[in-house]
Amino acid sequence: MFSKPVPADSLYLAWAAAVFPLAAFGIIMIFLRRLPKAAAGVSLSAIAVSLVCAVCLLARHWHLEMPLESTVQWMASSDFEIPVGVLIDGLSLLMLVIVSGIAFLVQLYSIGYMAGDPGYARYFGFMSLFAWAMTSLVLAPNILQLFIFWELVGLSSYLLIGFWYEKLSASQAGKKAFVMTRAGDTLFFCGWLILLVWGGTVSILDLNHSAHSLSQAMVTASALLVFGGIAGKSAQFPLMTWLPDAMEGPAPVSALLHSATMVAAGVFLLGRLFPFFSQSDAAMTVCLFIGFVSMLLSATMAMVSRDIKQVWAYSTVSQLGFMIMALGAGGYAAGIFHLTTHAGFKALLFLCAGMLIHACETNDMFEIGQAGGRRMKLTVLCMTIGALALSGIWPFSGFFSKEEIMAALAAANSPVWYIGGLAGVFLTAYYSFRLIFVILLPGSTKAHGPGSQSGPEHARAVMHAVLVILAVITLVMGFFAESLQNLLTGQGVNAPGVHGPFPAKVVSPVLAIAGIVVAWLEFGRKDSARIGFAGRISPVARLFGQRWYLDHAYGWLVGRILDRGIAEGCQQNENRVIEKILHTVAGSVTACGRAAAGWHRAMIQSKLMVVFAVVFGLTLILLAA
Amino acid sequence: MTNWTLFIPELYSLGAAGVFFLFCLCRPDSRRDYGAAMILSALGLFLTVWSVGFQGSLFEGVYRVDLYSQVFKVLIYCGFFLAVCLCADLSGVDESRHSEFYFLLALCTLAMMLLVSCVHLLAIYIALELSSYSLYVLVYLRRGYQKGLESALKYFIMGAASSALMLFGFALVYGTGQSAYLVDLMRDLPGRINEPVVLIGFILALSGFFFKLAVFPFHFWAPDAYEGAPHQVSAYIATASKVAAIAVLIRIIALSGGQSDRLAWFLIVLSVASMTVGNLAAIAQKDLKRLLAFSSVAHAGYVMIGILSLTALGYASAVFYGMSLLVMKFTCFMVVVKASENGRNISTGDLAGLHYRAPVLALALLLALFGLAGIPPTMGFTAKLLIFTAAMKQGLLWLVIAAMFNVVISLYYYLQILKAAYFIEPEGQPPPIVVSTPLKLAAIAMILLMVAGGVYPGPVIDLAGDMTMGLFP
């Protein structure tokens, strides 16, 4: 076998980490709908328990050599059994800590951010639901269990995006997210069905150790189908446009679900099945390509957007693209490490954005700048730290993970990926600091600062504390790169530490700094035009602003082909063919019924005849046979 | 030496019948009769339940008391008790005839209890006739209904014809087996079942039970009798009488030892014909009782699927099916009784608005009809699942498919009834249906039974298995 059983106490810890948020969800939704404070308390304590369990697990299994797996049978159908259980290895431990940690911080922040909202208790209920689904997803030892929680995560995402469902755009965005990820999940579903039917196993360890009976073509096919689900969940090309719309949800939701953890589930799954994907070169190349396209496309979109949360959303897609590229290029540890650092600094960026939006009551970065957003010194400072990390500047965490990714890309088979990655680095730095300079150095500001900051003093202090914690994490995380890699690769996953040539190490920081400088020239200087180089050429600006017309393409596809083509065709078929057949069948059955009923109204003599005829006739026939 | 304790339930029933016979001689008093009937039947039910553990043989081996017979006696007494529960408003029967009505009902119950214990051909015949004669008269007791006499007469003629066939069959079986004891026959028959005389005798011997169970082509009495009889009698025929018929049919067919393909084919043809004729004819019915009669015919066909697999599992599933029919059919007739005024027959349309006129009854009806159609999670679903499983184990896939087609057809008329009860607004203002507390409790008990039988049927299935175990010596 490829694993050892989980020791009993670790098993309890793992279960506790998953089950407490579920209990909190149940308690809140059933008993505490009208008690917002209690609901927040229950939810927070549950996630705190999860966090403690996760940290204990991580500490205990820091030097894990072999994955630990324990399962019990859930149901059996003839010779096929469906187990449920826990899989503990470096990846799941790391991810568990990230999920519970960020979830804890975001919930803490939400106490102040959501204060006074009529749906306060519901919000914390959904947050607990998400925490349960996500922790269980991380611990799942087989694809089936993973898929169940994958869908539950999607459900909680839908519920939280549409949290302010009175707003039409919010409920529309929720629907869009749900449907688009569902499109990917359908592919995922088909993928694991192939694994189950032809491969004979859905156990992650079996798949990763080639203990399946799939041909090479089948491996590629199933890997690509599973990748469809990853593209949907991680908002990769072409299923990327739901994520910017998902920013309709509250800012902490965006921080937790739509940047740090849930959208990273796709990358997590790719990492989970990394050895399996490695068995197919074609699948890896597709990963690389999709990551590449998503990364560049969304970076260009971020260059022209004025909505602060949308910029970070595009940036999330772009960074997820980086991670998928890294994994596609074989840089397992690099991709997962970037996931880790990204979770920290992107949550920080979103929470800072939330503070600004809350104070200035607008999402537009230019308006925030003019309203004097920079007077919120701590927030702006934290945001700058986040942006520096995002751009990949030493000594912030992003620098280390991005270096690893660039090294992995440089080692890839074609220079295209590396050059594209460098372009991505430049654009990332450019759009991040465009935002920072717009807010930090606005041309003119209103006389007085942003409106009264809502929430009581201590709530704001808690929110600030969360920002500071995340900023500190962003600062120090980079120096743990080595030990995290040991944790991730200590289990026999084939991922040699790739180190690019020296010039490569210098090129990307230089490009990042160049991006910042360009941003300063265009937005930071005193007499700058405050229009980006992309904005000057109107067709390009329009192309970027309209998200490369992807939404239009989807609209056309759905409107023309789905609605008018397939749906109407089905309806015609329903009306003209199926209904008619049904009417004929039903009519003839009823006619038979009437005939049979009429027969029973006959005289008794004929009935007796039937009795005798049937009994004797049948007996004779049987005897003759 | 005869151990009379084993015979206590039957003696008690005889005594109960005697009480009503005495009442017949006194001045008619319907309240007294109803009260006495309730008390006596409830006591009798306890007595039969108490006697479940009995084992033994009586009257020189003619009468066998075992788990199989005792549980069926409980079921038959349940049917009797439940039918009496419906008699609070016995307006379908002339007031002066109430004592007679209960007398005949008790006598019929006694006869059926004897029937399920008899293991001798002649004793079986006598018990069967005794129960049938009571029912012929009971069907006739309907007040103010022109067709009462006609239905009773049709019932009687059909019964007489099938009795004649059965006696002829018994004679042939006795002639070849040289014994009328089932135990002896069981030793002898399985080896010789494919001889023409034995097969003909055996098939003819079954006709009396087919008549009781209303299997095609012996079912022609059912629609007329159900329609013409007082509602309570229809309920009794549909529940207690059917259960007794299933019991004795299994006992007799078990004699064949599962050896004969020809016998199986005979049963298959009758089963498919019953289902199809019953379900098709039911579609065209307006009168609810007539519809339920045809539904009974169809269900006789389903029960036969279990029996004709000629295995222990098949017999056990048939027993379970009989139990579920008892519950579901009683529930339907409870609604018929409560929804009709002055004991008149009702059509499906008269149920309009039932869901607010009597919500508990409507819910019970919903579950009962779902059960009859075999929709989970009801007892009826479990029962159908069991018999279909038994048939599948015998490789009779196409028979199960035929049955499934029939189930689909049957959904049509069951859902018509539900549509009337739940979705159609009544014309005018029909008075709300007053459901007395005991009857409400009975309805709730039925609801619980139907759901429990769908969700947790394990113990009952085990019981049915234990019962039929005793049939194979």
Residues of A in contact with B414 (CB under 8 A): none
Instruction: Measure the CA–CA gap between A179 and A176, rounded to whole angstroms.
Output: 5
Q: With beta carbons less than 8 A apart as the criterion, state whether A96 and A17 touch.
A: yes
Q: What local confidence, expressed as pLDDT, does residue A233 receive?
A: 87
Q: Does A580 touch chain B (CB under 8 A)?
A: no
- The pLDDT-based confidence of A502 (bands split at 50, 70, 90) is low
The CA-based diameter of chain B, rounded to the nearest angstrom, is 68
Q: What local confidence, expressed as pLDDT, does residue B327 receive?
A: 93
Q: With beta carbons less than 8 A apart as the criterion, state whether A27 and A42 touch.
A: yes
Report the pLDDT averaged over residues A568-572. 89
**3-state secondary structure (DSSP) of residue A80:** strand
Specify the range with the lowest mean pLDDT, choosing from A154-163, A387-396, B317-326, B426-435. B426-435
Per the CB < 8 Å rule, is A615 touching B204? Answer: yes
Instruction: Measure the CA–CA gap between B447 and B369, rounded to whole angstroms.
Output: 12
Is residue A244 predicted with pLDDT exceeding 80?
Answer: yes
Q: What local confidence, expressed as pLDDT, does residue A494 receive?
A: 44
Nearest 5°: the CA angle A302, A305, A306 is 135
**3-state secondary structure (DSSP) of residue A135:** helix
Report the pLDDT averaged over residues A88-100. 88
What is the distance in angstroms between the CA of the first residue and the CA of the last residue of chain B? 23
Please report the sign of the dihedral spanned by the C-alpha atoms of residue A478, residue A480, residue A484, residue A485.
positive
Asked if the bond preceding A395 is cis, omega within 30° of 0, the reply is: yes
Cα A413 to Cα A72, A286, A288, A329, A499: the distances in Å are 43, 13, 11, 8, 15
Specify the range with the lowest mean pLDDT, choosing from A193-197, A539-543, B287-291, B449-453. A539-543
Strand partners, A85: A71
Annotated domain spans of chain A? 142-545, 553-624
Q: What local confidence, expressed as pLDDT, does residue A495 receive?
A: 45
Smallest CA–CA separation between B219 and chain A, in Å?
9
Q: What local confidence, expressed as pLDDT, does residue B104 receive?
A: 92
Is residue B89 predicted with pLDDT exceeding 90?
Answer: no
C-beta atoms surrounding B24 within 10 Å:
16
Residues of A in contact with B162 (CB under 8 A): 611
Q: Does B204 touch chain A (CB under 8 A)?
A: yes
Q: With beta carbons less than 8 A apart as the criterion, state whether A552 and A308 touch.
A: no
Is residue A242 predicted with pLDDT exceeding 90?
Answer: no
Is residue A453 predicted with pLDDT exceeding 60?
Answer: no
Nearest CA in chain A to B287: A597
> Average model confidence (pLDDT) for chain A?
83
Per the CB < 8 Å rule, is B283 touching A608? Answer: no
Which has the higher per-residue pLDDT, B96 or B366? B366
Report the pLDDT averaged over residues A470-490. 80
Residues of B in contact with A595 (CB under 8 A): 280
- Please report how many Cα atoms fall inside a 13 Å half-sphere around the Cα of residue B67, on the Cβ side: 13
Q: What single-letter amino acid sits at A475?
A: L
Instruction: Pick the closest to residue A269 from A220, A212, A324 (CA basis).
Output: A324
Q: List all residues 6 or more positions away from A382 whose beta carbon is below 8 Å from its beta carbon.
A: A348, A352, A467, A468, A470, A471
ipTM: 0.84
Per the CB < 8 Å rule, is A594 touching B284? Answer: yes
Q: Does A607 touch chain B (CB under 8 A)?
A: yes
Instruction: Measure the CA–CA gap between A321 and A299, rounded to whole angstroms.
Output: 10
Q: Does B392 touch chain A (CB under 8 A)?
A: no
CA dihedral A466, A472, A473, A474 (to 10 degrees): 110
Nearest CA in chain A to B406: A589
Is residue B300 predicted with pLDDT exceeding 90?
Answer: yes
Nearest CA in chain A to B222: A600
Q: What local confidence, expressed as pLDDT, does residue A493 receive?
A: 45
Report the pLDDT averaged over residues B96-112. 91
Instruction: Measure the CA–CA gap between A237 and A320, rounded to whole angstroms.
Output: 11
Report the pLDDT averaged over residues A406-431. 85
Q: What local confidence, expressed as pLDDT, does residue A496 receive?
A: 47
Smallest CA–CA separation between A133 and chain B, in Å?
29
Q: List all residues 6 or more positions away from B301 whose beta carbon is below 8 Å from its beta carbon.
A: B215, B216, B270, B271, B272, B273, B274, B275, B276, B278, B403, B406
Asked if the bond preceding A238 is cis, omega within 30° of 0, the reply is: yes
Residue B56 sits at φ, ψ, to 5 deg, of 155, 180
Q: What local confidence, expressed as pLDDT, does residue A468 receive?
A: 87
A to B CB pairs, distance under 8 Å: 77
Tokens of A361: 């009551």
C-beta atoms surrounding A560 within 10 Å:
10
Q: Does B183 touch chain A (CB under 8 A)?
A: no
Burial class (CB in 10 A: 0-12, 13-18, 19+), A36: buried
- The pLDDT-based confidence of B211 (bands split at 50, 70, 90) is very high
pLDDT digits (tens, 9 = 90+) for A9-68: 888 888 888 889 999 998 888 888 888 888 888 998 999 999 999 999 888 888 777 888
Which region holds residue B316: left if phi is over 0, alpha if psi is between -120 and 50, else beta? alpha
Q: Which residues of B143-176 are buried (b: 16+ CB within 10 A; e: fewer)?
A: eebeebeebbbbbbbbbebbbebbbebbebbbeb
Choose the mutation target among A585, A588, A600 for the interface with B, i.e. most B CBs under 10 Å: A600
Instruction: Measure the CA–CA gap between A265 and A336, rounded to whole angstroms.
Output: 11
Q: What local confidence, expressed as pLDDT, does residue A491 receive?
A: 47
How many residues belong to chain B? Answer: 473
Is residue A373 predicted with pLDDT exceeding 80?
Answer: no
Q: With beta carbons less than 8 A apart as the criterion, state whether A125 and A28 touch.
A: yes
Q: Does A582 touch chain B (CB under 8 A)?
A: no
pLDDT digits (tens, 9 = 90+) for A332-343: 888 888 888 888
Q: Does A483 touch chain B (CB under 8 A)?
A: no
pLDDT above 70 covers a percentage of chain B that reads 99
pLDDT digits (tens, 9 = 90+) for B240-258: 999 999 999 998 888 877 7
pLDDT digits (tens, 9 = 90+) for A504-547: 677 888 888 888 888 888 877 777 767 777 777 777 777 777 77
pLDDT digits (tens, 9 = 90+) for A312-338: 888 888 988 988 888 888 888 888 888
Burial class (CB in 10 A: 0-12, 13-18, 19+), A190: middle
Smallest CA–CA separation between B342 and chain A, in Å?
26
What is the gyration radius of the CA atoms in chain A, in angstroms? 29
Instruction: Pick the closest to residue A295 from A344, A231, A349, A242 (CA basis).
Output: A231
Instruction: Measure the CA–CA gap between B120 and B184, rounded to whole angstroms.
Output: 10
Quote the DSSP letter at residue B431: P
Instruction: Pick the closest to residue B372 from B450, B316, B307, B305 (CA basis).
Output: B450
> Average model confidence (pLDDT) for chain B?
88
- The pLDDT-based confidence of A279 (bands split at 50, 70, 90) is confident
**3-state secondary structure (DSSP) of residue A176:** helix
Tokens 């549909």 belong to residue: B238
pLDDT digits (tens, 9 = 90+) for B62-72: 888 888 889 99
Q: What local confidence, expressed as pLDDT, does residue B76 receive?
A: 93
How many residues belong to chain A? Answer: 625
Q: Does B22 touch chain A (CB under 8 A)?
A: no
Tokens of A403: 């270096």
Smallest CA–CA separation between A614 and chain B, in Å?
7
Cα B364 to Cα A382, B326, B368: the distances in Å are 66, 14, 6
Residues of A in contact with B308 (CB under 8 A): none
How far does Cα A407 stand from its chain's mean position?
26
Q: What local confidence, expressed as pLDDT, does residue B320 receive?
A: 93
Q: Does B225 touch chain A (CB under 8 A)?
A: no
Tell me the range of A284-298, A433-447, B251-265 where mean pLDDT is highest. Answer: A284-298
**3-state secondary structure (DSSP) of residue A499:** coil
What is the distance in angstroms between the CA of the first residue and the CA of the last residue of chain A? 60
C-beta atoms surrounding B296 within 10 Å:
28
Q: With beta carbons less than 8 A apart as the criterion, state whether A366 and A374 touch.
A: no
Q: What local confidence, expressed as pLDDT, does residue A259 receive?
A: 80
Q: Does B412 touch chain A (CB under 8 A)?
A: yes
Q: List all residues 6 or more positions away from B40 whose beta carbon is below 8 Å from its beta carbon.
A: B16, B19, B106
Choose the mutation target among B272, B280, B295, B414 for the interface with A, i.e. most A CBs under 10 Å: B280
State which residues form the domain around B441.
Answer: 4-469
Residues of B in contact with A586 (CB under 8 A): 412
Residues of B in contact with A604 (CB under 8 A): 154, 157-158, 220
pLDDT above 90 covers a percentage of chain B that reads 40
Q: With beta carbons less than 8 A apart as the criterion, state whether A219 and A282 touch.
A: no
Structural domain tally of chain B?
1
Tokens of A411: 């080692």
Contacts 24+ apart (CB under 8 A), A602-606: A604/B154, A604/B157, A604/B158, A604/B220
Instruction: Measure the CA–CA gap between B170 and B157, rounded to whole angstroms.
Output: 20
Q: List all residues 6 or more positions away from B121 whose beta carbon is below 8 Å from its beta carbon.
A: B170, B173, B174, B180, B182, B205
Q: Does A625 touch chain B (CB under 8 A)?
A: yes
Nearest CA in chain B to A620: B200
Report the pLDDT averaged over residues B207-235. 90
Q: Does B223 touch chain A (CB under 8 A)?
A: yes
Report the pLDDT averaged over residues A472-485. 81
- Which residue from B223, B269, B284 is facing A593, i.e. has the nearest CB? B284
Which region holds residue A210: left if phi is over 0, alpha if psi is between -120 and 50, else beta? left
Choose the mutation target among B209, B218, B220, B415 for the interface with A, i.e. most A CBs under 10 Å: B220
